[in-house]
A and B are shown apart, each in its own frame.
Chain A
């Protein structure tokens, strides 16, 4: 009899086996956690369209922000990041991956707003620790000082030799969103950049 195999999802850093590394060294200056299987949805549409704004607010509890480089928190841990004047990235916990799309899609019916699921196209790395600023300063030309990069701010900038969206989630941590094809490069980059401070993996 043939053994049935269930579909198996692999996160962008599956090959690095981060769960096995988690907890080995707890004293690192940089703490890295891969936000595995987070939901990421691209939302596009005119930022002044009342129908689209109302639809998104109904689905997520927050209207798309119009201030450059800003983000807002929605319901259930979702967050709307403004990328360009007519493009937002909706970030949500992995448990909402299916739900988020269907909610947004039905809420945007009859409006110019459009959504597409890009969850599997990106890797989300949550960085924290006392050496966070030092590691970021090596990685990007963007000024990551708190006065220029306060909590809630999101910027698209260079990261290593690649590109990343960086979101300051709170005073002590930054979410780095890179293309899935750059996940391994970013992982190697961060290991090298954090070598002098020590690197801890959170599970």
Chain B
């Protein structure tokens, strides 16, 4: 059971209050009409499945009903940080390797 910090409620809540909402930071292509089928398919359906650090979206379903981002390690389940939509993560693959 994960203990997730909700940046809008300002405290840690148990995982059952949340829904997982997929990989974070996937920009929608500027001009979808100009994209090849393969590139559009990659955007729509293909997701990273990293071993280690993963940035993902969570939805606080029973609380504030808001989406936010979480940086989580898929091996250790450690959560590095929670941050609101639109913000950039302070923990990235590069910063982890430098540390």
- Using a CB–CB cutoff of 8 Å, the interface residues on chain A facing chain B are 68-69, 83-85, 87, 141-142, 155-158, 163-164
Contacts and interface: CB of A to CB of B under 8 A. Distances in A.
B8 A68 contact: yes
A164 B63 CA distance: 9
Contacts of B63: 155-157
Interface of B: 8-11, 13-14, 16-17, 60-66
Given A84-B65, A155-B63, A157-B63, A69 B10 contact: yes
B62 A156 contact: yes
Contact of A68 (B9, B16, B61): B9
A164 B72 CA distance: 28
Contacts of B14: 141-142
Nearest to A85: B8
Contacts of A69: 9-11
Contacts of A155: 9, 63
A157 B8 contact: no
A68 B66 CA distance: 13
Given A68-B8, A84-B8, A163-B61, A157 B13 contact: yes
Contacts of A85: 8, 64
A87 to B, nearest CB: 8
6 contacts: A69-B10, A69-B11, A83-B64, A84-B64, A156-B60, A158-B17
Contacts of B65: 83-84, 156
A84 B11 contact: no
Contact of B66 (A84, A141, A158, A164): A84
B11 A68 contact: yes
A158 B62 contact: yes
A82 to B, nearest CB: 9
Contacts of B17: 141, 156-158
A85 B85 CA distance: 13
B33 to A, nearest CB: 35
A68 B68 CA distance: 15
B11 to A, nearest CB: 7
A119 B16 CA distance: 27
Among B11, B16, B64, max chain A CB count under 10 A is at: B64
B16 A141 contact: yes
Contacts of A156: 9, 17, 60, 62-65
A158 B9 contact: no
Nearest to A163: B62
